[in-house]
Amino acid sequence: MKRKNRLAPKREGRLTAIVITRQMALLMAFAVLVFVFTVVLVSSLDDIRRMVYGAKPGVTLETRVISGYLPNEVRKVVEAMADQERTAPKDAMFYKETGELIPEEPGLDIDVDLTVNRIMRAKPGEKVELVRIAIAPAITTRHFDPVYRISTEKHAMAMGINIAWGEEHLPRLLEILRENNIKATFFIDGEWAEKFPDMVRRLNEERHEVANHGYQHVHVEKMSEPSIRKLISDNEKLLISLGVTPSRLFAPPYGECNQTIVSAAASLGYTTVMWTIDTLDWNTEDPKKVSGRVIQKITPGAIILAHPTRSFVEALPVIVDASRKAGYGFLTISDLLDAD
């Protein structure tokens, strides 16, 4: 038996040779060149696109450099900055317990579209600011002051005509106003509106100002604030159901006015309106007395309190004529307030 030669060399594993031909090397080099060229080309095209369509060189938004940003990128930046700056307005508030009136605070919004537009139109090196918009509170300290006369230098007055009963003289009243091209403010009682919905619509159609006189003609002086708010809001809903959006003016029934009434109205965004001149037309049949009360008190910003009575209707042409001879015109209460 033959012995194995322990000194015999071990057989090594086979080596696999990879042969790269010249053609393969060229193909690989070409592929690398194509890849590099593509990357460079894409990068160059993006640079060109930003140069043509992006924000101009050196343009900044506030302190942020934004040159080269495309419109959609600019919008994202502006929206993010706007979210940080936006603040809601705070309404004025009256604390009945302390009698303290806290002033309103305006809010702030950002016009994103206009800001983006300004950035994209900006010249090289230009600094662009966010387009800030102040938001006015719905309720201001002004709402807590009843209006007796409107402070203005304008030679104009306003008629505040309260309607809680009757309608027989209203068509003639509207005719006189139309003939003289005068718009008045009509404070409508809710129960009256339910009886004469067509008259309410007519007032609106003839472009007179329709305002709030409460849902019922009740004494509000001793009512609670929630009850007064309901009186006002119920009437507002009724008028809206008739297709009329009332202005935010409230004339308290019976002309009763105290801080509770004013605060209740203000909490709903209403201004309480009283009067400068009381015609007392409901208490007299004599139109001369009615016209005399007005003519002797003609003054800028005066609010004339009246009702659709026979005495006022007959006195109205005289009042209009005398006022115009004195150089005065007539506006709605809201228009006169806006002219303040």
Share of the chain above pLDDT 90, in %: 79
- Kindly tell me if the per-residue pLDDT of 191 is higher than 90: yes
What's the token pair of residue 98? 């302390």
Tell me if 13 is assigned to some domain. Answer: no
Whole-number pLDDT of residue 21 = 76
- For residues 126 and 98, the model is more confident at 126
Last residue of a domain, one of 137, 166, 198: 137
Least confident segment among 88-97, 130-139, 213-222: 88-97
Shared domain check, 132 and 147 = no
Whole-number pLDDT of residue 339 = 84
Tell me if 276 is assigned to some domain. Answer: yes
At 173, the amino acid letter reads L
Whole-number pLDDT of residue 312 = 98
Say if CB 113 and CB 133 are below 8 A apart. no
Supply the CATH number for residue 284's domain: 3.20.20.370
Tell me if 176 is assigned to some domain. Answer: yes
Mean pLDDT, rounded, for 173-198: 98
pLDDT tens for residues 134-185? 999 999 999 999 999 999 989 999 999 999 998 999 999 999 999 999 999 9
**H or E, element range at 317:** helix 310-325
Shared domain check, 233 and 100 = no
* Domain housing 92: 60-137
Last residue of a domain, one of 87, 114, 137: 137
Whole-number pLDDT of residue 67 = 92
- Kindly tell me if the per-residue pLDDT of 1 is higher than 50: no
Say if CB 156 and CB 339 are below 8 A apart. yes
Tell me if 39 is assigned to some domain. Answer: no
Whole-Å CA distances, 274 to 1, 96, 144, 221, 306: 137, 22, 13, 14, 11
Whole-number pLDDT of residue 50 = 86
Long-range interactions of 325-330: CB distance < 8 A, separation 24+: 326/155, 326/298, 327/155, 328/155, 328/156, 328/157, 328/298, 328/300, 329/155, 329/156, 329/157, 330/156, 330/157, 330/158, 330/159, 330/182, 330/183, 330/184
Whole-number pLDDT of residue 17 = 56
Q: Is 295 helix (H, G, I), strand (E, B) or coil?
A: helix
Tell me if 1 is assigned to some domain. Answer: no
pLDDT tens for residues 269-290? 999 999 999 999 999 899 999 9
Record the pTM. Answer: 0.75
Tell me if 167 is assigned to some domain. Answer: yes
Last residue of a domain, one of 116, 137, 158: 137
Shared domain check, 146 and 120 = no
pLDDT tens for residues 2-55? 454 554 455 555 555 566 677 776 776 666 665 655 555 455 677 888 888 999
Whole-number pLDDT of residue 333 = 98
Mean pLDDT, rounded, for 290-300: 97
- For residues 62 and 49, the model is more confident at 62
The total domain count for the chain is: 2
Whole-Å CA distances, 75 to 62, 70, 78: 14, 9, 5
Shared domain check, 305 and 284 = yes
Tell me if 19 is assigned to some domain. Answer: no
Whole-Å CA distances, 232 to 83, 94, 241: 36, 18, 14
**Averaged pLDDT score across all residues of the chain:** 91
- For residues 40 and 218, the model is more confident at 218
Shared domain check, 185 and 86 = no
pLDDT tens for residues 234-247? 999 999 999 999 99
Shared domain check, 255 and 210 = yes
Shared domain check, 229 and 151 = yes
